[in-house]
Amino acid sequence: MNNIYFNLNQLQKTIMYYALKYKKKYTDIKVIAISKKRSINEIIQAYSFGQRAFGENYVQEAIKKINNIQLKIEWHFVGKIQSNKVSIIAKNFAWCHSITSKKHAELLNKYRPEILPPLNVLIQININCEKNKNGIYLYKLMNLVNFIYQLKKIKLRGIMIFPNQQKDIQQKIILYKKMYIILMKLKNKYKYTDTLSLGTSYDIEEAIASGSNMLRIGQKIFNKKINNH
Ligand SMILES: *Cc1c(COP(=O)(O)O)cnc(C)c1O
């Protein structure tokens, strides 16, 4: 059996299982296949098995794939934003998960073509104040939220976190639930701010338990990389 097919099937079962366990609606949980460093062929395979949303971290790598794959893929940018690449992100992606500054927001809004629907954006939060991690500190969140709400061509859909992996599941759930509560507060004000992008191959259970509705899964779909080349 094809590996990617098998993996996608397993993943679906895993998500169903945890959705049931934590009383969440299975159909509300969306999977973004993180395809950084994966080949065009692997992406096409996953697509042929029903996967529609893919996430990329590096603009140069992503743009090659986007230009060479003629399929109706929903592309998500999940990497660190560099100012000189913002216009490429604005023009080629449906979602951007990693806004951390007003400057990014302003530039994405500026370069988003009028003919495309607004770019869906998430603010990336650094919840543990981890050094060398992308994301804003919590106390700066509302200021950036209010700024983005004024912009017409980008639409604030929620928040994203990508914490270092810790061992203690309960600790993670406490931390993640805080993010869910913050999101609910935003959603009370703006109905379409409804997305919590949280959870990778190694914390699917904690993410679902905490109310994540967007999982970013790489290895559990495309298999573990044996080396980094
Ligand atoms: C690579 C990556 C993922 C996926 O991680 P896996 O362990 O492969 O599931 C998720 N989010 C971001 C931002 C990533 O860079």
Tell me, in angstroms, the distance from the centre of ligand 1 to residue 114's CA: 31
Residue 227 lies in a domain: no
Residue 229 lies in a domain: no
Residue of 51, 54, 78, 97 to test ligand 1 pocket, by largest number of atoms within 8 Å of CB: 78
Range of the domain at 9: 3-222
Query: What's 117's DSSP letter?
Result: P
Residue 132 lies in a domain: yes
Give me the helices (H) in 36-84, please. 40-48, 59-68
In this prediction, residue 115 carries a pLDDT of 97
Please count the structural domains in the chain: 1
- CATH code assigned at 24: 3.20.20.10
75: Cβ below 6 Å to ligand 1? no
Residue of 14, 34, 221 to test ligand 1 pocket, by largest number of atoms within 8 Å of CB: 34
**Nearest residue CA, atom 6 of ligand 1?**
218
Tell me, in angstroms, the distance from the centre of ligand 1 to residue 208's CA: 16
Please give the number of the atom of ligand 1 that sits closest to the Cα of 32. Answer: 10
pLDDT (tens place) for every residue of the chain, 229 residues total: 579 999 999 999 999 999 999 999 999 999 999 999 999 999 999 999 999 999 999 999 999 999 999 999 999 999 999 999 999 999 999 999 999 999 999 999 999 999 999 999 999 999 876 776 789 999 999 999 999 999 999 999 999 999 877 778 888 888 899 999 999 999 999 999 999 999 999 999 999 999 999 999 999 999 876 554 4
Instruction: Quote the tokens at residue 76.
Output: 């998500």
Residue 228 lies in a domain: no
For residue 146, the surrounding DSSP H or E stretch is helix 141-149
**Nearest residue CA, atom 10 of ligand 1?**
216
162: Cβ below 6 Å to ligand 1? yes
Check: CB of residue 130 under 8 Å from CB of residue 136: no
In this prediction, residue 228 carries a pLDDT of 47
Residue 85 lies in a domain: yes
Tell me, in angstroms, the distance from the centre of ligand 1 to residue 150's CA: 30
Total-model pTM? 0.95
Instruction: Quote the tokens at residue 220.
Output: 């559990």
Residue 137 lies in a domain: yes
Q: What angle do CA 164, 140, 120 make, to 5 degrees?
A: 75
For residue 20, the surrounding DSSP H or E stretch is helix 3-21
